[in-house]
Structure 1
Amino acid sequence: MLGLLLLLLLLFLSPPFSLPLNQEGLYLLRAKRGLSDPTQSLASWNDRDDTPCHWFGVSCDPSTRLVDSVDLPSSQLAGPFPSFLCRLPSLSRLALFNNSINSSLPADVSACQNLRHLNLSQNFLVGPIPDRLPGIPTLRELDLSGNNFSGEIPASFGESRSLESLLLYDNLLDGEIPSFLFNISTLRELLLAYNPFSPSRIPSELGNLTSLENLWLTGCNLVGEIPPALSRLSKLKNLDLSMNRLSGAIPSSITQLKSIIQVELYNNSLSGELPKKMSNLTTLRRFDASMNQLTGTIPEELCELPLESLNLFDNRLEGTLPASIARSPNLYELKLFNNKLTGELPSRLGENSPLQRIDVSYNGFSGEIPGNLCGKGVLEDLILICNSFSGKIPASLGKCRSLSRVRLKHNKLSGNVPEQFWGLPRVYLLDLDGNKLSGPISSKISGAYNLSTLLISKNQFSGPIPDEFGSLGNLVEFIGSDNMLTGQIPASLINLSQLGRLDLSANELSGDIPEGIKAWKKLNELNLANNKLSGEIPNEIGSLTVLNYLDLSGNSLSGEIPIELQDLKLNLLNLSNNRLSGNLPPLYANENYKNSFVGNPGLCGDLPDLCPRVGSKDLKYIWLLRTIFILAAIVFLVGIVGFLWKYQTFKKNKKGITISKWRSFHKLSFSELDIVQCLNEDNVIGSGASGKVYKVGLGNGEEVAVKKLWRGGIKKDDQQRSAEPEKDEFEAEVETLGKIRHKNIVRLWCCYSSGDCKLLVYEYMPNGSLGDLLHGSKGGMLDWPMRYKITLDAAEGLSYLHHDCVPPIVHRDVKSNNILLDGEFGAKVADFGVAKVVGGINKDAESMSVIAGSCGYIAPEYGYTLRVNEKSDIYSFGVVILELVTGRLPVDPEFGEKHLVKWVLTTLDQKGLENVIDPKLDVVHMEEIGRILNIGLLCTNSLPINRPSMRRVVKMLQEASSDNTKSSRKDGKLSPYYYYEESSDQGSTV
């Protein structure tokens, strides 16, 4: 009896019997062994369980307890497709979205015979799509988008009778779009956008897809006309045929799409008039036929639809805007810019609709601006650039406190600006250039505390500049030239610490230049020319380290020129036609600067024609001095010639430098000899793909950087740009940098060319490159405010290349190592060895013979299209933003086969913002860092069309730093997208 009790006690205390892992679990473990799992997402997959139904990403049918779903999105899994998953007999859903599944997709994927949903999008799969994949009889949804599949779409897809969703966009598929796809009558979604298909027509079989709701064929190289069979798609909600080469008229059959919500036809070659009876499209909310060749007028019935967005810009529309557009109760956005529309805007426009944005720029509109545009009090953007609007600015707009951007330049507006209009609290851009506006600038401008840019030049404004200007702490740009402003420059302007550009030229301003302007630390341009200013030039100007343009000509300034002006690195200096006297600062006492000082009778120096003529008593003495000087100069020149001959002979024997060509792009205070003598190994500060860089100290105390290109071109062991010939490297740098003048582009002082080598002489940047500083031992020096400043500086430099250079320039190698930092950590874009001039922003891209750029920075589409446009630069700049936020390299072994962009997206999704940002950064800036990170993610969007322009990036960066910017965080995680609004003023000259 006692033994029985002991036996029962032992059984009670012993651990419960555990069943072995079932066969499905073993299949899953075999699949796990074939994958790299750096984040341990599959840590719960183990053989200690009897069933995998509780493992991460695995779910089972509640009745049969068999695995029916494996869902592992954004888990950083890497390796070939795990074929063992197809041995799960009841698997109906397999989703491996946004991982690093690579290699080709094996043919045995068709063994997943019960799959209904297969999602392998956003991976690195290559090769052809398996022919047997469409043979899975139960397959309903197939998503292979965002991979590198190539070849033609398999003909076996035409045999599918159950497929409802086919997503193949953003791959490398070629051949023509096959007509058999349009025989899959069960399809609800067909998304083939952004594949390099051969030119092909839209098949007439399109009408067979009677269940289709979403058709996305953007960028598919479509040609010919849109087929009339479109009318049979009665369930279609989204039609996107943009960015192709479609021609002919928009078919009238489009008006029979009873369920349509959005129609995208922009950037084609469509012609003719808009179809009639568009009032049939009662569900239509967005219609975009911009950038085509449409003619005729806008049908009135189109304006009666409850549209959310109507875009018809960059066409050839002619005629007036019908008054019926004013009756649309749901109209909140009206964009008709870049057309040939004429007549007046409807007087009741905005009266009955919540109009938020109106842009009718670059048309022939005339008459007065309607007074009801802000009738509902929500108008934000009022853009009327380059029309013939006349009359006064409506007083009602002065009460429109929702306005944030106003651009009325180049019209015929006249009269006084309403007082309240000057002080609108949310306006950050007020552009009234090129009108006939008159009267004073109201003191109520103090209420415009968000004002960043004020452009009022070429008008008839009069009276003094109000003292209240000093309260505009966000003002960056104030252009008030060519008016009739009087009085003194207010002393309160010195409070504008953000001021970057001040142009008050061609007015009637008087008095002294105010003291205390050393507070303008960010001032890049100061133009006070052609006024009535008096007094002395403040020596404080010499402390404005980023000043590039200084024009004080045509005034009555007196006294000596401050010696401190030598501390500036000016692209333009003009002090002519004043009353200056004394000696010139030594740096400017040479012939190159003569025109900067003419018209100052009391100015003395070594330059001819600047000093008064001497009397006859001293004439003999001066001739004697001149004779001595000439003889000494001859002796000196003979010595120099002899020295040069010996020096060149010595260098030729050593196979060294023999300078035969010298070309300068700025006024120089040094010669080629100053450079040549310092090119020794002790002065090397860097070495890269294209050559060595030397630091050269000149006799006058200045320092320059000299790049000596490798003989014969790029180093043979460098794979980055091995196909670029050496003459292209040198000539691209010279031709690009030689004509650029911008504070955020590194200056090319001059270049030297010989048979043996080529030299490029730049301004010296004492803090080196951003990449070296950010990823080196001194990375802790870069706090967040400094990183933000560097980001904005570099963005402004790239924006100048894309939007302000004619023709535009694409850098093609934007990276942190090509962003250099000056002594104040101001950023400048450098290294233009592979830069290309293109025909125009947003025009057809220029095809290149090789890939240029650096690993981790190259835009995904660039690797297979070899098409150059500004969008590739924007992607690379987005990577730089992510570097600055995360402190990580663009390619890191920790990422596995991913790169920085994918790592950021995955980490954000799984762990949140805190695990993305550089731990060296102060968390007090978390919100602002999050907003900047959003901009970086927007710039690195895989689809080029979704990336903003650099001009828009600059604006978003400026807005992201303000305290009242709304956070883009949602539910504790950061959204990877940042809303932006394109408009007609992008690409136009400000």
Structure 2
Amino acid sequence: MPFFNLHPSSPFLLFFFFFFQLPVFAIFSDRDYNILIRVKTSYLHDPDGSMNNWVPNQAHNACNWTGITCDPTNSSVLSIDLSNSGFVGGFPFVFCRIPTLKSLSISNTSLNGTLLSPSFSLCSHLQLLNLSSNLLVGTLPDFSSGFKQLQTLDLSSNNFTGEIPHSFGGLSALKVLRLSQNLLDGSLPSVLGNLSELTEMAIAYNPFKPSRLPPEFGNLTKLVNMFLPSSKLIGPIPDSIGNLALLSNLDLSTNSISGSIPDSIGGLRSIESIRLYNNQISGELPESIGNLTTLFSLDISQNSLTGKLSEKIAALPLQSLHLNDNFLEGEVPETLASNKNLLSLKLFNNSFSGKLPWNLGLNSYLNVFDVSSNNFMGEIPKFLCHGNQLQRIVLFNNHFSGSFPESYGGCDSLLYVRIENNQLSGQIPDSFWNLSGLTYIRISENRFEGSIPLAISGIRYLQDLVISGNFFSGQLPKEICKLQELVRLDVSRNKLSGGVPSCITELKQLQKLDLQENMFAGEIPKLVNTWKELTELNLSHNQFTGEIPPQLGDLPVLKYLDLSSNLLSGEIPEELTKLKLGQFNFSDNKLTGEVPSGFDNELFVNSLMGNPGLCSPDLKLLNRCPKSKSISFYIVIVLSLIAFVLIGSLIWVVKFRMNLFKKSKSSWMVTKFQRVGFDEEDVIPHLTKANIIGSGGSSTVFKVDLKMGQTVAVKSLWSGHNKLDLEPIFQSEVETLGRIRHANIVKLLFSCSNGEGSKILVYEYMENGSLGDALHEHKSQTLSDWSKRLDIAVGAAQGLAYLHHDCVPPIIHRDVKSNNILLDEEFHPRVADFGLAKTMQRQGEADDGSAMSRIAGSYGYIAPEYGYTMKVTEKSDVYSFGVVLMELVTGKRPNDACFGENKDIVKWVTEISLSEGEGEKGLSLDEIVDERLDPKTCVAEEIVKILDVAILCTSALPLNRPSMRRVVELIKDTKLPHSKS
């Protein structure tokens, strides 16, 4: 066969390649070109124009098109990457008809539908398949034996359900498996232990059935990354974990793993990060961890570890050591201070004792230092900020003594200081009071002394200043008025004296001001109406004189006012009765005159005692007011007023009932949606002013106690309003609530309307009103239990998930907010007010000028995309619900003025979450969590996870927001199986 022995440069051979190969190139090019054109025209909707340059050309060449990579030798398509586009449609299986295709990525788009098609087998020649961050549903596809070349499979962040198929264990070439953030609810399959080539396993954040970590995973000897947080793992970590000698990252956090950490963990000789936090792990830290010399991050916080921190583990060159929230004891080894890499140390909520190493921080660049709530004693180490990178120093609830180190006065990086509840003494260095970056100072319950220096004006961004329970003396300097960001000022229980600077009223962000138990004198500043955000004011046990400023009555959100034990004189201003005070105290002063009628109640008598000059016509424990000589005149006036009110009310009722009972013109048309033992004749007579419990722009809500003992809520929409506005609202409520049944959606009992335009909707009555009222009208003592708020979050999410996923067609609420979540007697939530709701099939209909064309949603809850699309999708509801979650955690309104100009709750929470903090992902819970929550009920990990969910729900891009079904699972997964005491 001499032909095959031709020299490579032979002219004949060159002619052969030119003559025969050129048509082959054309065949490849035509085939791939035609398939790509077919996908563009028939399979994917491309609203963003990502495939605009996929246009026909004479050469039938697609190699220059967006996302296409070709083989340079024959122009066949090797890779398609259309990620991060706005594609909508099902998975285009036809791509896989390109036999040379090795890599297919269509991630972070809007692919929907399932992968359950026989055509999926066409993709068996792929080496990489990435469909992450889409809207795919159904069960995972069954990978037949033909998928022998697949090396990377990424189906994460979709809505897949069911089991991980057994066939996954047959993907013999698989190196990367990512299934995180789906709705997979089967067991964790041991068959994945067959994937001998696997280097990355990321299947976290799925609602799996509780299952053990399979010992077979110890066979994955090439594994580098095991990512399994929030995977419902139970039982102990298997000994086989030590076989993973190449493992770099081990994350089993937020599960229910129990038992002790196996000694075999010392076999992870390549390990860099171990994250086992938020489990039920017990026992001692195995000494073998000290052999892991490549380890730079160790987080075993929020478990039940006992014993001591060994010198060997403390000597590891770790960047972060987080052992907080355990039961560890003993002293911290001196070897910890020799670590040159240590950046973050969290030992809080343990039982450590003794002195901290004196040179801690001297050899590294510490950033976060938190050893609070232990039994440490001795002096505070003075080198913690030696590298001038320390941002947080948290030492509260210990037994530290001595002075506050002078060295921290030069720590320019410092942002956050909490050293309360210790035995520290002496003076705070003047230089500390001038650290411009500080935002948070709490040094209460110590023995500090000296004055507050003028230099405090330099801390321009300070938001929290709490120095109570010390021995500070002198005056409160007027320079404190320059702290314009101050939200809380507490200098109570010190020895401060003199007058309060009048400029203190310039602190417009102030929410809490506590000056009690000092020696302040002079008058209370009068121009207090600038305190629009003030909720608590305590000036008690001082020597204030003069009259109570009537301007206090203009403070819109003031709920707590204590002026007791001063030298105040004059009358109690009538203006104070405008306040909605949850608690007040004016006792032990020199007040005179008659108690205003708003305070003339036996419930308030203890708050008025100790004022000999006060009198009341009704309160027995106070002096009785003398009768006026012209009392008959006042009696006449009062009787006249009563007669006027009665006549006015009678006219209103007559007109009201005439409107209702014009049966000659029209009769009531009634539609019942539930079995009830009453009708409109039992309800309508009770729609009187006395029974009004709320009103809005288009309706009035009444509470009606029926004769059979049942209580209902009645919403009336009257003919006096624009009928074009009211009819769609009425129809939307009736059509939506009339056909759905769910425990977390308010029940519509019946509706009725007449020809005069009057429309009535009768609902089940919710004893505890709306969530918005409970949080923001300062009834939050009823919601002081964190678990109760978490249950509300779960229930409300379930209601919305039902609307989105179980109703056919799906329903979009369009006005999700805390005021539209009602609470029954047991605080179980019901989603309510469907006046703006739309079914998905109606989204494309043209507006008719009705209520449906009004702004969909309420200020502070509206998703950002609505501003430029004017369209509402189910992801708009998800955004609004994320805002509600933030309200539940913070207790703040969506547009609370404390966030600052041009900032809402979403931006505020998100910014704090991105900053360095105590909690997971840097969240500083002290800055975020509602202070009205009972600390005994709060579980930090649950709160952090809820905030994670809230931030995810309020992502700027709708595509990045989870479905409501996914939100339900994420919230349920935050609930810990037990709470540590």
Listed as ranges, the gaps of 5+ residues in structure 2 are 1-25, 662-677, 704-711, 719-729, 750-761, 801-815, 838-856, 881-899, 931-955, 961-978
1:820-899 paired onto structure 2 within 5 Å: 829-834=818-823, 883=862, 885-888=864-867, 892=871
Opposite residue 910 of structure 2, the aligned amino acid is: I
**8 A Cα contact 1:891 1:899, kept in partner:** no
Distance 1:938 1:450, change over 3 A: closer
Distance 1:168 1:627, change over 3 A: closer
Match of 1:574 in 2: 585
Verify: 1:449 aligned to 2:460, yes or no.
yes
Match of 1:56 in 2: 66
**8 A Cα contact 2:459 2:483, kept in partner:** yes
1:250-269 paired onto structure 2 within 5 Å: 250-269=261-280
Shift of 1:31: 1.9
**8 A Cα contact 1:313 1:335, kept in partner:** yes
1:362-441 paired onto structure 2 within 5 Å: 362-441=373-452
Distance 1:342 1:736, change over 3 A: farther
> Among residues 52, 56, 60, which one is paired with 1:43 in the alignment?
52
The C-alpha deviation readout for 1:856-904, integer Å capped at 9, x for no partner, is 99xxxxxxxxxxxxxxxxxxxx9987836444499936x7x9768899x
1:762-801 paired onto structure 2 within 5 Å: none
**8 A Cα contact 2:820 2:831, kept in partner:** no
Match of 1:24 in 2: 32
The C-alpha deviation readout for 1:681-711, integer Å capped at 9, x for no partner, is 997268999862789xxxxxxxxxxxx9x99
**8 A Cα contact 1:809 1:836, kept in partner:** no
Distance 1:54 1:168, change over 3 A: same
**8 A Cα contact 2:496 2:519, kept in partner:** yes
Aligned-residue Cα RMSD (Å) equals 5.1
**8 A Cα contact 1:109 1:133, kept in partner:** no
SS at match of 1:65: coil
Match of 2:681 in 1: 655
Match of 1:171 in 2: 182
CA distance in 2, matches of 1:693, 1:133: 61
CA distance in 1, matches of 2:616, 2:277: 63
SS at match of 1:68: strand
Distance 1:682 1:899, change over 3 A: closer
Shift of 1:502: 0.8
Opposite residue 935 of structure 1, the aligned amino acid is: T
Opposite residue 37 of structure 2, the aligned amino acid is: L
Deviates more, 1:473-482 or 1:388-397: 388-397
The C-alpha deviation readout for 1:770-812, integer Å capped at 9, x for no partner, is xxxxxxxxxxxxxxxxxxxxxxxxxxx9x99688798767456
> Among residues 878, 903, 907, which one is paired with 1:932 in the alignment?
907
Match of 1:336 in 2: 347
CA distance in 2, matches of 1:677, 1:158: 65
Verify: 1:684 aligned to 2:699, yes or no.
yes
Distance 1:853 1:173, change over 3 A: farther
**8 A Cα contact 1:885 1:933, kept in partner:** no
Deviates more, 1:571-580 or 1:714-723: 714-723
The C-alpha deviation readout for 1:561-612, integer Å capped at 9, x for no partner, is 3333344333333322222223444544555544443332223454434764
Verify: 1:75 aligned to 2:88, yes or no.
no
Shift of 1:132: 3.1
Distance 1:632 1:392, change over 3 A: same
The C-alpha deviation readout for 1:88-123, integer Å capped at 9, x for no partner, is 121111001011211110232221243111001111
Opposite residue 716 of structure 1, the aligned amino acid is: G
CA distance in 2, matches of 1:608, 1:849: 40
**8 A Cα contact 2:768 2:824, kept in partner:** no
**8 A Cα contact 2:737 2:747, kept in partner:** no
> Among residues 87, 97, 109, which one is paired with 1:99 in the alignment?
109
The C-alpha deviation readout for 1:14-50, integer Å capped at 9, x for no partner, is xxxxx99823222122222122222222222233452
CA distance in 2, matches of 1:633, 1:84: 83
SS at match of 1:580: strand
The C-alpha deviation readout for 1:194-213, integer Å capped at 9, x for no partner, is 22222322222222211110
Opposite residue 313 of structure 1, the aligned amino acid is: N
SS at match of 1:486: strand
Number of equivalenced pairs:
796
Distance 1:134 1:405, change over 3 A: farther
CA distance in 1, matches of 2:210, 2:584: 55
Distance 1:423 1:679, change over 3 A: closer
Distance 1:694 1:111, change over 3 A: closer
**8 A Cα contact 1:855 1:891, kept in partner:** no
The C-alpha deviation readout for 1:337-374, integer Å capped at 9, x for no partner, is 11111111111111121111111111121222112222
CA distance in 2, matches of 1:714, 1:747: 32
**8 A Cα contact 2:783 2:789, kept in partner:** no
CA distance in 1, matches of 2:249, 2:858: 32
Verify: 1:87 aligned to 2:107, yes or no.
no
CA distance in 2, matches of 1:937, 1:142: 35
> Among residues 695, 719, 738, which one is paired with 1:716 in the alignment?
738
**Normalization by structure 2: what TM-score?**
0.71
Distance 1:489 1:339, change over 3 A: same
CA distance in 2, matches of 1:711, 1:44: 47
Distance 1:277 1:437, change over 3 A: same
SS at match of 1:137: coil
Opposite residue 344 of structure 1, the aligned amino acid is: K
1:470-509 paired onto structure 2 within 5 Å: 470-509=481-520
SS at match of 1:321: coil
**8 A Cα contact 1:879 1:890, kept in partner:** no
Shift of 1:192: 1.3
CA distance in 2, matches of 1:626, 1:518: 34
CA distance in 2, matches of 1:244, 1:72: 35
**8 A Cα contact 1:134 1:157, kept in partner:** no
Match of 1:783 in 2: none
Shift of 1:627: 13
CA distance in 2, matches of 1:882, 1:614: 51
Distance 1:344 1:559, change over 3 A: same
Distance 1:432 1:300, change over 3 A: same
CA distance in 2, matches of 1:932, 1:519: 25
**Normalization by structure 1: what TM-score?**
0.70
Shift of 1:172: 2.2
CA distance in 2, matches of 1:850, 1:831: 8
CA distance in 2, matches of 1:298, 1:883: 50
**8 A Cα contact 2:770 2:818, kept in partner:** no
Shift of 1:835: 8.2
Deviates more, 1:146-155 or 1:67-76: 146-155
CA distance in 2, matches of 1:930, 1:807: 18
SS at match of 1:52: coil
Distance 1:89 1:327, change over 3 A: same
Among all aligned residue pairs of Structure 1 and Structure 2, give the percentage whose two residues are the same amino acid. Answer: 38
The C-alpha deviation readout for 1:235-264, integer Å capped at 9, x for no partner, is 110011112222221111112211111001
Shift of 1:633: 15
**8 A Cα contact 2:713 2:764, kept in partner:** no
Listed as ranges, the gaps of 5+ residues in structure 1 are 1-18, 661-671, 696-707, 749-796, 818-826, 839-847, 858-877, 904-924, 956-972, 978-987
Shift of 1:931: 9.6
